[in-house]
Copies of this chain bind each other. A is one copy, B any other.
């Protein structure tokens, strides 16, 4: 079979641009299995406890550690950051752009890291003590700060797939960090909408949404002094949630350790309510922070400054309904559960 997915002979992935949807896709040949292995497969790549590379004692099974948090005198740790063993993008190599006939491509330069949230195989994010979860949230922040030093990279995505249904390849609790040489399309759309709203009203669109949600109340899941979580008015999925900092704040990296402790407390309760309401569903969580290049305060080739019109937030998407062809082919969603019902249900849960 023809070997492709390489860029000028360099092994690895490449980015390809779809001229109709104007979307970049990572085509990562090295992650590929043989096509025949795809039939009905969604298998876990490596074994269970004992052989799990994220478990304490198996540190040697991961690539060289980037950072660790909460280490004690005995060499133990609470959170570890390591490169992804099967990276979709690689730090090595030059960022090269070229035409491929009428198409456009880019070498697969970037970063792909794993944040191991706990040494304990059986614990989920919601089970972690608040102080421990705060370390995970600090790792998110610190990786963004560090990766922004690489001027080739346009955006740093922090996300979590929890459960095999949600795309996790290993059950041991972990998050991922992916730094990409393009700004993802969904983020660009949000940036454009936020920018236009600000130009028109000189107000942050997210602050406006938060105020409307607090006034209505019906979609609020949890609110405290520092953070608020609600089910969006036009939720795509049942029980979809967004977590906003209540104070206007464009960039996640501005969170100090104290604020991250508040965030950990808030997030833990949100996840526990979701788990109780939906019987521990698989879920995805994605951080949308401001794009920033080279550590500069919120500056990029696209956007002069986002201090005023961006507002970082998490999206939480429980995986309880199958997205069907209608949604894939159209970007148009059918949500069978009104977000008001979902929020009320999660508010009423006994923890």
Contacts and interface: CB of A to CB of B under 8 A. Distances in A.
Interface of A: 1-2, 4-5, 16-29, 31-33, 35-36, 38-42, 88, 100-103, 157, 159-161, 164-168, 176, 178, 180, 184-187, 189-190, 193-194, 197, 205-206, 208-209, 212, 215-216, 218, 232-236, 238-239, 277-279, 281, 283-286, 288, 315, 317, 320-326, 328-342, 344-345
Nearest to A197: B19
Contacts of A329: 157, 159, 186, 284, 286, 288, 315, 317
B186 A279 contact: no
A186 B325 CA distance: 13
A16 B233 contact: yes
Given A38-B320, A168-B324, A317-B329, 16 more contacts: A2-B340, A2-B341, A17-B234, A24-B332, A25-B333, A39-B320, A102-B212, A103-B233, A159-B326, A159-B329, A160-B325, A161-B326, A185-B330, A185-B331, A284-B328, A317-B328
Nearest to A155: B330
B278 A330 contact: no
B322 A209 contact: no
A66 B218 CA distance: 40
Contacts of A39: 278-279, 281, 320
Contacts of A315: 328-329
B325 A167 contact: yes
A194 B346 CA distance: 44
A300 B193 CA distance: 25
A348 to B, nearest CB: 9
A35 B342 contact: yes
Contact of A102 (B4, B41, B101, B208): B208
Contact of A22 (B193, B212, B284): B193
User: Main SS of chain A's interface residues?
Assistant: mixed
A28 B334 contact: yes
A311 to B, nearest CB: 10
Nearest to A101: B212
Given A38-B239, A185-B332, A187-B330, A24 B234 contact: yes
Nearest to A311: B20
Contact of A38 (B161, B176, B186, B278): B278
Contacts of A321: 38, 42
A31 B334 contact: yes
29 contacts: A1-B341, A2-B344, A5-B338, A20-B206, A20-B209, A23-B234, A24-B234, A24-B332, A25-B333, A27-B335, A27-B339, A29-B336, A33-B336, A35-B278, A35-B342, A38-B281, A100-B233, A102-B208, A103-B233, A159-B326, A160-B325, A161-B326, A167-B322, A178-B326, A180-B332, A184-B331, A185-B330, A185-B331, A187-B330
